[in-house]
A and B are shown apart, each in its own frame.
Chain A
Amino acid sequence: MRVLLHAVPWLAAIAAYFLMPERLPLLSSIAIAALFTVSLDLIVGYAGVVTLGQAAFFGAGAYTAGLLAQNGWGEPLSGLLAAAAVAAVLGLVTAPLVLRSGALAGLMVTLGLGLMLYEAANKAAAITGGADGLQGVEVWPVLGVFRFDLYGQTAYLYSLAVLFVLFWLAKLIVASPYGLSLRGINGNPRRAPALGVPVKTRLTVAYALAAAYAGVAGALLAQTTAFVSLDALSFQRSADGLLMLVLGGLGSLYGALIGAAAFTLAHHALSEASPIFWQFWLGIALIALALYGRGGLMGLLRKLMPRGAGS
């Protein structure tokens, strides 16, 4: 029974491939948003470090994979690894700044770093293409076999496969002693060190890990769209990711999947009507969630199914 529940999101994702063949780019963007939201769930939901600058890592990964492919190395999997490595190093370097001071100061630092990176990419137009975006990205077939096609079939299945692997890796990590220590630090940062938990080290690793996840998500976007724009680094992306996480529910990883899917679909449907409409409904949804929906959509699901799919 439980195994079946765990299979539901993936079966739904595969069913969508067959049921909505003309919507594959949208589905890809859901998978990528879901991976980005998983990265936020790791650092915000589990480790309890709130960030407004996760897009910095998404963008770093996107430009890494994009630049590699633009400059003659279009092998996608190594592109993902390179993106993860660059983002992780960026995470390791900035973690001390973010974790050093109180929660609010840390939040400001993430915001500041995100804005700085955006502006740097904007100014470095010779490399990044600036506001025009990075052109001429040529990605080789996945595993040397599966070409990126016009319909986005490969793009979707590739994104979904990467999401699947990294989702279960994240599941393993949060269920491990290391993951338990993150929940402990999040739950009581005063008690954790009195149990011998090296709080700084653990949080630094979590920050870099989440950065790597975001970097892979960015790289997926670059590879599947053969394009990188400054949007990858935008504050809007950081904020949307947080909204998806809150909408889906923190700290279960499934919430990240559900939140990303619900947010992206709603955004798509409503902004076709009118962009302002979308903001309006988003605002209402947020207020309703804050007032009644602690635990997000995942929390609601849990209430409906007491022996739920989560955790």
Chain B
Amino acid sequence: MSGPALQTQGLTRRFGAFTAVDKVSLSVAAGARHALIGPNGAGKTTFVNLLSGAIPATAGSVALLGEDVTAAPQHARVRRGLARTFQVNQLFAELSPREAVVLAVSERAGAGGTWWRPVSSMPALRREADALLDLVRFPIAGRDGRTGSLAYGRQRLLEIALALAMKPRVLLLDEPAAGVPPAESREVLEAVSALPRDVAVLLIEHDMDLVFRFAERITVLAQGAVLADGEPGAIARDPRVKEAYLGTMEIGHG
């Protein structure tokens, strides 16, 4: 596959008269480290929801690994290699972290419809789940507790582990460090920078230090539309970007 991993054309979403995402055409290269930034309310999360199929687009198209998936339901896109995390944790409060990752792994492995044998008789699922939790450095001690009682930072790690369990070709991270207290944010950021290189990552993040350390390409969204798109250096110098963030944030550094 030489084309882009993910490509949108004129992707649009309206809520009533309000246009949350406005004719966004964006291309994420295979294995990319791509950041999507923009002020609050710019439409970033809505854009991710359109990509993942959580909500239908009003207009435009989404292509995943060269295939049009605009009409495909969420689970079908996941099966074709698109995974995401959520800005606000979407976890399984009553399952343990290990159970949740086992669930994710079993779905990816195509075993989700297996009803004739207990999960406990399928040690490969558990081994892979543990490997994923290791990968995001989720501490061993908390793996069998109730997810709902985990510290927020740990829950963010679990979010990432669940997405990685999909063995995605494209990973959408919607503010992975949002709401994490500073003391715990380092482990989340480390998990993000340690993501496998062959996965194309589209990162939404407000922490500009992280964005400029991580991204090889940056797209700026404002009021639903693409304001700028380019290399981090060019974005940092772009006066329109500075204006969009005016007074809210320092762009770039050094």
Cβ-defined contact, B99 with A195, below 8 A: no
Cβ-defined contact, A196 with B107, below 8 A: yes
Cβ-defined contact, A178 with B90, below 8 A: no
Residue A266 is within 8 A (CB to CB) of chain B in the complex: no
Give the segment of A20-28, A182-190, A224-232, A277-285 that binds chain B.
A182-190
Residue A12 is within 8 A (CB to CB) of chain B in the complex: no
Cβ-defined contact, A177 with B94, below 8 A: no
Give the complex CA separation of A196 and B74 in angstroms.
Answer: 7
Q: Which 7 A-B pairs have the closest CB atoms?
A: A196-B78, A193-B74, A175-B118, A187-B92, A191-B90, A178-B115, A177-B106
Give the complex CA separation of A190 and B53 in angstroms.
Answer: 11
Name A261-286 residues within 8 Å CB distance of B.
none
Cβ-defined contact, A191 with B92, below 8 A: yes
Chain B positions within 8 Å of A199 at CB level: 75
Chain A positions within 8 Å of B23 at CB level: none
Residue A81 is within 8 A (CB to CB) of chain B in the complex: no
Cβ-defined contact, A172 with B107, below 8 A: no
Residue A173 is within 8 A (CB to CB) of chain B in the complex: yes
Cβ-defined contact, A194 with B54, below 8 A: yes
A207 to chain B, nearest CB (A): 14
Residue A9 is within 8 A (CB to CB) of chain B in the complex: no
Max chain B CB contacts within 10 Å: which of A173, A175, A190, A191?
Answer: A191
Residue A79 is within 8 A (CB to CB) of chain B in the complex: no
Interface string of A233-245 (1 = CB under 8 A from B): 0000000000000
Give the complex CA separation of A183 and B104 in angstroms.
Answer: 12
Residue A127 is within 8 A (CB to CB) of chain B in the complex: no
For chains A and B in complex, what number of residue pairs have CB atoms within 8 angstroms?
104
Residue B143 is within 8 A (CB to CB) of chain A in the complex: no
B223 to chain A, nearest CB (A): 26
Cβ-defined contact, B103 with A184, below 8 A: yes
Residue A197 is within 8 A (CB to CB) of chain B in the complex: yes
Residue B156 is within 8 A (CB to CB) of chain A in the complex: no
Find B112's partner among A173, A188, A194, A197 (CB 8 Å cutoff).
Answer: A197
Chain B positions within 8 Å of A191 at CB level: 86, 90-92, 162
Please give the number of chain A residues whose Cβ is less than 8 angstroms from any Cβ of chain B in the complex.
23
Cβ-defined contact, A178 with B112, below 8 A: yes
Known contacts A194-B83, A197-B112; A176 and B118 CB within 8 A of each other: yes
Find A188's partner among B91, B104, B118, B120 (CB 8 Å cutoff).
Answer: B91
Known contacts A183-B92, A190-B90, A194-B90; A176 and B103 CB within 8 A of each other: no
Chain B positions within 8 Å of A184 at CB level: 92, 95, 100, 103
Cβ-defined contact, A195 with B115, below 8 A: no
Residue B114 is within 8 A (CB to CB) of chain A in the complex: yes
Cβ-defined contact, A181 with B119, below 8 A: no
Residue B116 is within 8 A (CB to CB) of chain A in the complex: yes
> Which residues of B approach A to under 8 Å, CB–CB?
52-54, 73-75, 78-79, 83-84, 86, 90-95, 99-100, 102-104, 106-108, 111-120, 122, 125, 162, 165-166
A43 to chain B, nearest CB (A): 15
Give the complex CA separation of A22 and B111 in angstroms.
Answer: 49
Q: List 22 A-B contacts (CB under 8 A).
A: A172-B116, A178-B115, A180-B106, A181-B107, A183-B94, A188-B93, A191-B90, A193-B53, A193-B54, A193-B73, A193-B78, A194-B78, A194-B84, A194-B86, A195-B107, A195-B108, A195-B165, A196-B75, A196-B79, A196-B107, A197-B103, A197-B112
Given A177-B125, A196-B166, 13 other A-B residues pairs in contact with their CB atoms under 8 A: A177-B115, A178-B114, A180-B119, A181-B103, A181-B106, A187-B95, A188-B93, A191-B92, A191-B162, A196-B75, A196-B104, A196-B107, A197-B103
Interface string of A190-213 (1 = CB under 8 A from B): 110111111100100000000000
Cβ-defined contact, B118 with A172, below 8 A: yes
Chain B positions within 8 Å of A177 at CB level: 103, 106, 111-115, 119, 122, 125
Chain B positions within 8 Å of A248 at CB level: none
Chain A positions within 8 Å of B94 at CB level: 183, 187
Chain A positions within 8 Å of B103 at CB level: 177, 180-181, 183-184, 195, 197
Find B119's partner among A175, A194, A195 (CB 8 Å cutoff).
Answer: A175
Give the complex CA separation of A196 and B102 in angstroms.
Answer: 13
Give the complex CA separation of A194 and B99 in angstroms.
Answer: 16
Chain B positions within 8 Å of A193 at CB level: 53-54, 73-75, 78
Chain A positions within 8 Å of B99 at CB level: 180
B89 closest partner in A (C-beta): A191
Chain B positions within 8 Å of A180 at CB level: 95, 99, 102-103, 106, 119
